[in-house]
Amino acid sequence: MSFNTVSFLDADCPLEGLVEPGDELLAINGNPIHDVLDYKFYAYDELLTLRFRDAGEIEVEKDEGEDLGLNFEDYLMDNATHCANKCVFCFIDQLPKGLRDTLYFKDDDARLSFLTGNYITCTNLTERELQRICELRVSPLNISVHATDGELRARMLRNRRGAEIMDILRRFADAGIEMECQVVVCPGWNDGAQLQKTMEDLAELYPAVNSVSIVPVGLTCHRQGLTELQPFDAESALATVKQVEAFARVCLERCNTLLFYCSDELYLKAGLEIPPEEDYEGYPQLENGVGLLRLLEEEFRYALENEDERPARPFSVATGVSAAPFLQKLCALAGANARVYAVENDFLGHTVDVAGLLTGGDLLRQLRGKDLGEFLLIPLVMLRHGEGVFLDDMTVDQLSESLGVPVYPVDNDGDALLSAMLGRM
């Protein structure tokens, strides 16, 4: 079956009654449709001539930018593009064996970067794909840069095409494409002077480069046979934060934006307070863990100001080691009768201290027999997107039954957190 095969039509689709599920979209206004980018770009106009395999040509008039309401067998209308790199810091390579297959798939697809915010390295883009991105103005794109020194980047990605990054970024900038970038910093590799060069090079591409997140490398205990890397400690995290903040202030003077932002994890590792809200300039890098805690606190304080009730029932919160003191502070602000448990990551190793990579097994082993109150709150980020399943395939219901208390996942939202503390699940 073709990837362009229509699986179903939305209820308000203007093609209802004209096209049947199972038909295949071939072209729009004479332009062949190869994948979702072609579809979204050529379907944008008001007047369209659609050509289907069975229904033939159909003329459609709609509002500019309005979706046609067609749904296809595959979201991309194509196979996802696999990563061509063997990065020295790749997190997927550090996962233990025996997990579900989807966790081991490494995508590096420009279409997913545009549509869902995935980060790409650009090393697998053909000339045709680069040209199409520029011609269609596929923007914004999320790009993993890591280093702008070509030789260093090629070594880190273990792909000679990694050296082409600045040429590609300049080409995108010239085409008017907005880029959100990230730098995964590995101590001894792309920190210090190399990080400074990377920031300076990317700053030259502002405003095309709209924001850059600086995040620490994540290392698990399953690195047998992989390149030896050093984790961040408090001293190296502090040095990196100071370096980034210093250059961000330079950018503020030059460009009227900080442009570079450290992830929450770096501040926590450095033992520093999370910066004030104004330093996040609208939170352009939330998906990279930049400003999540600040936004959560601001929302939580606002919710408290507009709520007369205060948490009275005893409950517990389980989170990663790094964020536990922060959540303890929020519980104290609310005057909650709560216990906050910092759960160590036995599954991936204790150098992994973020909540999103904890397993149900970690929670069960470390919370069994503890005073959990009437219910347990956990961050929603611990679970597979859209499902109540942890990284190790334990379900929330299984954890709840084993611990003997209701377990409620809570989104990273201050109002939702306060409501959960009040028992409004």
CATH topology of domain 92-289: pyruvate-formate lyase- activating enzyme (3.80.30)
Dist. CA 409–CA 144, nearest whole Å: 30
Residue 56's pLDDT band, with cuts at 50, 70 and 90, is very high
Pick from 40-54, 315-329, 367-381: least confident: 40-54
Model confidence at 116: pLDDT above 80:
no
Q: How confident is the model at residue 404 (pLDDT cuts 50, 70, 90)?
A: very high
Q: Which comes out higher in pLDDT, residue 10 or 341?
A: 341
Mean pLDDT of 3-23: 85
Helix (H, G, I), strand (E, B) or coil at 223: coil
DSSP 114: H
Domain locations in the chain as residue ranges: 6-72, 92-289, 296-421
What DSSP letter does each residue of 229-290 carry, written as one string? -PPP-HHHHHHHHHHHHHHHHHHHHHHSS--EEE-HHHHHHHT-PPPPGGGGTT-TTGGGTS
- In angstroms, the CA 329 to CA 21 distance is 54
- CATH 3.40.50 is held by the domain 296-421: yes
Query: What fold is seen in the domain 6-72?
Result: Pdz3 Domain (2.30.42)
Compute the mean pLDDT over every residue in the chain, rounded to the nearest whole number: 93
214 pLDDT higher than 60: yes
Question: With 60 as the cut, is the pLDDT of residue 277 above it?
Answer: yes
For residue 2, pLDDT over 70 is answered with no
pLDDT class of 109 with cuts at 50, 70, 90 = confident
What pLDDT was estimated at residue 35? 83
Buried b / exposed e across 321-336, counting CB within 10 Å, b at 16+? bbbbebbbebbeebeb
In the numeric block, which tokens belong to residue 199?
A: 């920031």
| Secondary structure letter of residue 120 according to DSSP | B
Q: Do the domains 6-72 and 296-421 sit in the same CATH topology, yes or no? A: no
Lowest-confidence segment of 144-148, 157-161, 312-316, 421-425 by average pLDDT: 421-425
* 356-368 as b/e: b if 16+ CB within 10 A: bbbbbbbbbebbe
Question: Whats the size of the chain, residue-wise?
Answer: 425
Q: What is the mean pLDDT of residues 165-176?
A: 98
| Kind and range of the H or E run holding 378 | strand 376-379
| 4 pLDDT above the threshold of 90 | no
Q: What is the mean pLDDT of residues 264-286?
A: 96
> What per-residue confidence (pLDDT) applies to 103?
79
Dihedral sign for Cα 234, 142, 357, 124, please: negative
